[in-house]
Structure 1
Amino acid sequence: MASLSPKTTVLGRRLAAHLLRRTTYNLTKTRIDQFALLTPTQAISILLTKNPPTLSEPLEAATGLPWLNNDREPETDDFKLKGYLRAWWIDEALKDTGIEHKLIFFFHSNLVANVQETDSYRYWDHMSLFRYYVLSDYKKLCSKMATDIVMLYYLNNAENYKDNPNENFARENFELFTVGKGPQIGPGNYTFYTEQDIQEAARLLTGFGWAERSEEKDPETSISRGGANMYNHDSGEKIFTSAFQSRHIPGSDSSEGMWVELQSFYDMIFDQDETAKNITRKLYRYLVGKNITPEIENDIIGPLATTLKSNDYQVIPWLSQLLLSQHFYDEDDSDSKDEIIGSIVKSPLELVLQAMSFLKIAVPDVQVDAVKHYDQFYCDGIMHNMLEPGGLDIFAPVNVAGYAAYYQAPGYSRSWFNGGTIYARYKLGTMLLNGETLYGGDLGSKVDIVTFVQNNIPGTDVAANVVHFFIDYLFPEAISDDRFDYFLNTVFLNKLSAINWRIEWQKFINSGVDTEVIIPLTNLVTAVLSSPEYQLG
């Protein structure tokens, strides 16, 4: 039976790696070994620790100076500045030892907006909301997003006036962001909301729109937001259907009253059990797996949703209950290898950043060479040559539904792996180890594989030790003897004797010349990173 009963024994290497793959982008041998000695309670305590950013905000590459929170006029066009903002976030995600960035991307994939449809200043504010609430209050995050400038314009609520209502945000807010769309049980009735509810919500949301960044700030977060314009607001009472217990929300005749209406609206939505269940199902598919059977719905989703709602949508109790559970580690039935470990296809972000962190690639120092760091390595190399060809234009999904891997049944995460993305995924090892982009350009850095092996693998002169190291740490499950033989004898040794490797490694130790050892090591790691096993997390 699927169970949320907590796992209390130490993780061991296999489950430590599973936990880290699912919750962070920072995957290293040291961290796996550290977590292997911990119980889930100890491990989750570390993951839920919020770490300050290593760089408080992105820099303009041309000047090496920040531009977002001062009066300095940048020298660079805003399209490139948005690239630097995204690069900054990716770099922070690479370094983050907690769950924060993995969870921010989850919330972004649910509360979708597109970075390319705004300017860098407003997208910084948008991302700041995620960072502020990521480990605290999902309900507040949703309600604050309603008046975030990026969201107001992305879903047209800035064009929602009492004399000409626009229902776009109201509709998507119900369908995608909160309660979710259920079976259609009548004309305009989607079980959990109706067309009438959309119309009433649109009326309530009239009048929220543009405000200068410096003039309108949220009183709790101090983050810039949109303004409340009473002239454009429908001041009448809003009456919702039985889907919301026929709730009446009184109208207001002041801008202050508009904020009260908005809060009452979100209180109504988050009073619904289905809101908690909908977001819990999304979290489950993001962190655990795509298959929500009736058993999982009853024994996992329902209780988790109850935890979320009873804690007023505080994230940590809900998240902890899932990550501490026997179910998360597939230890709630007789077969611990058939459902969860290795069941999700890695996103391009997971695929790339976990390889970068594990192999310790030296990212160009932003303080030394900001152009190389931002323009060459992150914007061109990582985003344009790895993530985008892999199917992820980060923070710029093609539509409001987000990324297909997180909503499109029945494949879900398998959407990342298709004929259009396979080349970039399989070229990952070549790009990182050779320091080249997808079609042969200069990445700006590369993995020093010989030094990495020398510093991390004991008994390196034994060929089987080298192969075991990469397979044991980077694959979610053990592989067959035949598969191991392929990596050892066909890929690494190239059909030569293991004694040849021992001789060549000893020559390298004696001379420092790595010519004969770098080739088999590069072949092995490239094969591991392009293997079907590494695609799974």
Structure 2
Amino acid sequence: MPYLDTYSGNWSAKEARHLLKRTSFGVSQALIEQSVSLGLSETIHKLFEEKPLPNLPLKYEFDDEINDPDVNYGETWVNAQPYPKVDTNQDRNRILRSRNRSLYAWSFLQMQDAGISIREKLTLFWHNHFVAENTNAHREFYYINTIRKNALGNFKELTKQITIDPNMLIYLSGNQNSDKAPNENYSRELLELFTIGKGLSVGNGDYTNYTEDDVITIAKVLTGWRARWIRHEDPLNAYFTNNRHTKGNKTLSHRFNNAVISENGENEYKDLIDVIFQQDECSRFIIRKLYKWFVNSEISSDIETNIIEPLAKIVRDNNYEIAPALKVLLASDHFFENTFCMIKSPVDLMLSATKSLLFSAPKTSIKAEYEFAYLLYIACTDLEQSILHHPDVAGWKAYYQKPLYYKTWVNTYTLPKRLEFCKVIVTGGDLLIDKKKYKIPPLIPVLLVASSIKNAEDPNILITELANLLFNYEISAEQKDSLKEILIPGLPDFEWTVEYSDFLANPTDQGLRTSVENKLRNLIGTMVQMSEFQIM
């Protein structure tokens, strides 16, 4: 079995679609054609290109809706007061909630507009890896900005930055960690969830990769770091208080070869992380998580030996730079063998329902653009994937919890919602989200979608090409016949051929236009509800 040999098969739209779906959010036909033209090697290169950071999130609600003394409509709020100076707490909370909405909408716009780039998929990966919750949009922005800046970079360096991120210090009690009262919350998660993993229990307080004594010792190493409350001056930067730091050298257990962390004040946490990352298991730990994110949830002993171990060595050889190993994985025969084994996350699902069908947040105004992106955010939240708000510190269960893994996204509550959301985006209708009704117009430009298909007047070609676009999966002849019944129920093929050809010849005929458009909406609205659309 070739495992990590570079893929040498035919490079076509099918392979390009698989790669782009796994490494970005939603794939348009134009992106697929660009990737086919580039070829595998150049597509991989483009995916990992360094790009400028995006423009800052904007206030998108009008001034008469949200009276923010520091920010006008169309301006960024990022550099404004994190704790607005207004008369009442009610007014302050209204402003802060508005900034939260802007940040969440802006995050979806970054995923929607990324093009051929893996950065946003990796940003979400690291966000799910280093879970840190906060309700203040400024702290949330600086946390996610740190992740985005380092998304394609060095795992060890990102761990250092996140360790003293104010969001993380508050979320996992680092702010309360002092020499008089060491708090083990972050030290435990640093080992178990963020760097090396717990491993099996081999004795009382002793695991394969660390001991309970290590948790206690590491808590002492990390004492002294603090974050100011949001209403105080400079609340967005952590600071070190030496008189709260546990002095002296700290010795780790046999699991870390009895390494000594020498007294080093505000730099001691960096020395600690360097020691943790000397353990080879850190590289295996992160590769397993990346494998589940990009390839498959099941890691057999065969995969462990022939995929995880060699990729982990690449990570170690590159001092924990992640990109070199990921490039090998994503260009491998193994990656292109693992198709249709992943249920789309809600974010993947919603953006594939829009981008694949040539719809994106409207650019007619900042308000319209952000409002639609925010609708995607609350829809995904309703489907149990709320960005910046995880169910717990371990992240979304789909990426770690046996035996369901990706199947976690689908349950008796979410499955009907997933199907309904996809259909309404195509056909229009009412969406009930968190007990609030949203009236959605038909969003997908179905006539434009059909016009991109050569010989779309043949219903068999139309359905086959739509299936290729939406599923990248060869559906059966029976399924095609059933879909044809949706398009032209009980009628021979030539009825569609005549009607669509007449429309192409007379595009201003409103009756023809409406008839063709309705047929296409019914067809595509049905296709995005099929199980094949739920999988990538």
**Is the shorter-chain TM-score for this pair beyond 0.5, marking a shared fold?**
yes
Instruction: Report the Cα offset of residue 409 of structure 1.
Output: 1.0
Q: Which of 397, 409, 414 is residue 404 of structure 1 equivalent to?
A: 397
Map Cα deviations across residues 322-342 of structure 1 (whole Å, 9 max, x no partner): 111111112xxxxxxxxx111
- Hey, what does 2:286 align to over in structure 1? 279
| Alignment partner of 1:420 is 2:413 | yes
- Hey, what does 1:268 align to over in structure 2? 275
- The answer to whether the 8 Å contact 2:174/2:225 transfers is yes
- The answer to whether the 8 Å contact 1:160/1:207 transfers is yes
Map Cα deviations across residues 63-87 of structure 1 (whole Å, 9 max, x no partner): 2211112469598521231121011
Give the Cα separation in 1 of the matches to 2:159 and 2:171.
15
- Hey, what does 1:336 align to over in structure 2? none
Change (3 A) 1:128 1:186: same
- Hey, what does 1:345 align to over in structure 2? 343
Instruction: Report the Cα offset of residue 53 of structure 1.
Output: 5.2
What is the 5 A alignment of 1:53-202? 55-62=55-62, 63-70=73-80, 76-97=94-115, 98-114=117-133, 117-202=134-219
Partner of 2:438, secondary structure, is coil
Give the Cα separation in 1 of the matches to 2:311 and 2:234.
36
- The answer to whether the 8 Å contact 1:433/1:446 transfers is yes
Instruction: Report the Cα offset of residue 9 of structure 1.
Output: 4.9
| Alignment partner of 1:441 is 2:438 | yes
Partner of 1:442, secondary structure, is strand
Partner of 1:185, secondary structure, is strand
What is the 5 A alignment of 1:216-235? 225-235=237-247
Give the Cα separation in 2 of the matches to 1:162 and 1:251.
13
| Alignment partner of 1:503 is 2:522 | no
Give the Cα separation in 2 of the matches to 1:205 and 1:352.
40
- Hey, what does 1:334 align to over in structure 2? none
- Read off the aligned partner of 1:533 and give its amino acid letter: E
Give the Cα separation in 1 of the matches to 2:239 and 2:234.
6
Map Cα deviations across residues 77-99 of structure 1 (whole Å, 9 max, x no partner): 21231121011011111010101
Give the Cα separation in 2 of the matches to 1:169 and 1:194.
15
| Alignment partner of 1:392 is 2:391 | no
- Hey, what does 2:257 align to over in structure 1? 245
Give the Cα separation in 2 of the matches to 1:387 and 1:298.
36
| Alignment partner of 1:359 is 2:357 | yes
- Read off the aligned partner of 1:21 and give its amino acid letter: K
| Alignment partner of 1:320 is 2:324 | no
- Read off the aligned partner of 1:92 and give its amino acid letter: Q
- The answer to whether the 8 Å contact 1:10/1:39 transfers is no
Map Cα deviations across residues 210-238 of structure 1 (whole Å, 9 max, x no partner): 14899879xxxxxx531111111101211
| Alignment partner of 1:208 is 2:234 | no
Change (3 A) 1:362 1:287: closer
- Read off the aligned partner of 1:450 and give its amino acid letter: L
Change (3 A) 1:251 1:118: farther
Higher alpha-carbon deviation: 438-447 or 36-45: 438-447
Give the Cα separation in 2 of the matches to 1:267 and 1:444.
54
Change (3 A) 1:417 1:2: farther
Higher alpha-carbon deviation: 2-11 or 149-158: 2-11
Give the Cα separation in 1 of the matches to 2:251 and 2:97.
43
- The answer to whether the 8 Å contact 2:427/2:525 transfers is no
| Aligned residue pairs, count | 508
- The answer to whether the 8 Å contact 1:361/1:445 transfers is no
- Read off the aligned partner of 1:398 and give its amino acid letter: P
- Hey, what does 1:460 align to over in structure 2? 456
- Hey, what does 1:333 align to over in structure 2? none
- Read off the aligned partner of 2:496 and give its amino acid letter: W
- Hey, what does 1:337 align to over in structure 2? none
Gaps of 5+ in 2: 63-72, 86-90
Instruction: Report the Cα offset of residue 315 of structure 1.
Output: 1.8
Change (3 A) 1:183 1:54: closer
- Read off the aligned partner of 2:124 and give its amino acid letter: F
| Alignment partner of 1:481 is 2:477 | yes
Partner of 1:181, secondary structure, is coil
Map Cα deviations across residues 341-400 of structure 1 (whole Å, 9 max, x no partner): 1110000111111221111224232xx5333333x4222x2122x212222112201110
Partner of 1:427, secondary structure, is helix
- State the identity %: 29
Partner of 2:207, secondary structure, is coil
Instruction: Report the Cα offset of residue 518 of structure 1.
Output: 1.6
Give the Cα separation in 2 of the matches to 1:389 and 1:452.
28
| Alignment partner of 1:432 is 2:425 | yes
Give the Cα separation in 2 of the matches to 1:502 and 1:444.
28
- The answer to whether the 8 Å contact 1:175/1:181 transfers is yes
Change (3 A) 1:244 1:54: closer
- Hey, what does 2:69 align to over in structure 1? none
Q: What RMSD, in angstroms, separates the aligned Cα atoms of the two structures?
A: 2.1
Gaps of 5+ in 1: 218-223, 331-339
